[in-house]
Amino acid sequence: MLVSDFDYKLPPELIAQAPLPRRDQSRLLVLHRDGRREHRRFTDLPEYLKGETVYLNDSRVLRARIYLIRSTGGKVAALLVRRLGDRKWHALLDASGRLQAGERLWIADPNNPQHSVHSKGKPLSVQLSSKEEDHWTLDFDEEPDLKQLGKPPLPPYIKRPADWGDDTRYQTVFAAKEGSIAAPTAGLHFTPEILAKLNTRKVTLHVGLGTFKPVKAEKVEDHKMHAEYYELAEPPQGKVVAVGTTTCRTLETWARTGQLSGWTDLFITPGFEFKVVKSLVTNFHVPKSTLLMLVCALAGRERILDAYAEAVREKYRFFSYGDAMLIL
């Protein structure tokens, strides 16, 4: 399969730049297996899931975006993607100039990015020790306190700085176990009132590069998924409803390995046999992404792309802070 088979045209103005005032006021496109489509509100979701077991990803998003200052005064945006050990992290770095292994940078004050953060009377620094593929290994002077130094890691298609509202809204109301560097966004629409009407269970998958890394290969089978940590409290019973692609991958990983915890690099594309997941609550995904490939595997590529085209015509809001889809 070609990655270009999962492309579609999206007007930039349909990419949601901020959440709605209320989580549950998102629109909901209901896609039936026979191709029928309904346009509803997310508050209508419980009507479709009576008696179903609904699985949610309870991973909590880290304040994983920090800013660094070079010796030249240049700024570097860092996304901490995985903790490797004491004071050591993998990170994606965005800088205007070429970075060098061995280079030392200073941690910027998130509230005053022109100045560095001090600890014990000296500025906190980090050294770039090595680069592997597209991410760096960072060695910190001391373990970074992300609650104080970091900001919510909004995706790059949101063209504004993260603000105080994102601390709450780029987090599900049921988030519990800290460890993700991006929100499991299908869960952002849920409120306590909607959850009270559903039979829910929790899984955990800490969202990392595996979920959101862009596909750069021409052929789907040439893309390599990064592994992400998952865990389930107990095996699922029968066919279930998954909220989000991360929940879906967690459940289908268990179905293939029998392991209630571990690391998964499961890549779900058309032709995949779903053993656990019957239905999916999901957002509208980035063109040519692994997430779009997964929903195409569940409902069929043409059916999904036709539904996306209709969502564009109906001016649905797309991506992380956008509207939702229910695939039955």
Q: What is the pLDDT of residues 261-293, one digit of tens each?
A: 999 999 999 999 999 999 999 999 999 999 999
State phi, psi for 248 to the nearest 5 degrees: -60, -45
Q: Is the pLDDT of residue 187 over 90?
A: yes
Helix 301-313 / helix 290-299 crossing angle, nearest 10 deg: 110
Q: Is the pLDDT of residue 213 over 90?
A: no
Q: What angle do CA 299, 223, 322 make, to 5 degrees?
A: 50
The pTM of this model reads 0.93
Cβ atoms of 68 and 75 within 8 Å: the answer is yes
37-41/53-57 β-pairing = unpaired
Q: What is the pLDDT of residues 36-72, one digit of tens each?
A: 999 999 999 999 999 999 999 999 999 999 999 998 8
Q: What angle do CA 177, 182, 188 make, to 5 degrees?
A: 75
Domain boundaries, the chain: 3-61+154-327, 65-149
Using DSSP, state whether 138 is helix, strand or coil. strand
The predicted model gives 309-325 an average pLDDT of: 98
Matching CATH number, 3-61+154-327, of 3.40.190.10, 3.30.1490.20, 2.10.10.100, 3.40.1780.10 = 3.40.1780.10
Q: Is the pLDDT of residue 121 over 90?
A: no
Cβ atoms of 292 and 6 within 8 Å: the answer is yes
The predicted model gives 243-249 an average pLDDT of: 98
> What is the percent of the chain where pLDDT is above 70?
100
CA dist 328 and 326 (Å) reads 6
CATH fold for domain 65-149: Thrombin, subunit H (2.40.10)
Q: Classify burial at 100, counting beta carbons within 10 Å of its beta carbon; exposed 0-12, middle 13-18, buried 19 or more.
A: exposed
Q: What was the pLDDT predicted at 281?
A: 98
Q: Is the pLDDT of residue 212 over 80?
A: no
Q: By mean pLDDT, which of 124-133, 151-160, 251-260 is the weakest? A: 124-133
Q: What is the pLDDT of residues 81-92, one digit of tens each?
A: 999 988 999 999
Q: Classify burial at 244, counting beta carbons within 10 Å of its beta carbon; exposed 0-12, middle 13-18, buried 19 or more.
A: buried
Q: By mean pLDDT, which of 3-12, 157-166, 168-177, 308-317 is the weakest? A: 157-166
The predicted model gives 124-151 an average pLDDT of: 91
199-205/53-57 β-pairing = parallel
Average pLDDT along the chain: 95
65-69/104-109 β-pairing = antiparallel
CA dist 99 and 95 (Å) reads 7
DSSP 8-state assignment for residue 15: B
Cα dist. 289→188, 216, 318, 321 in Å?
A: 20, 10, 14, 17
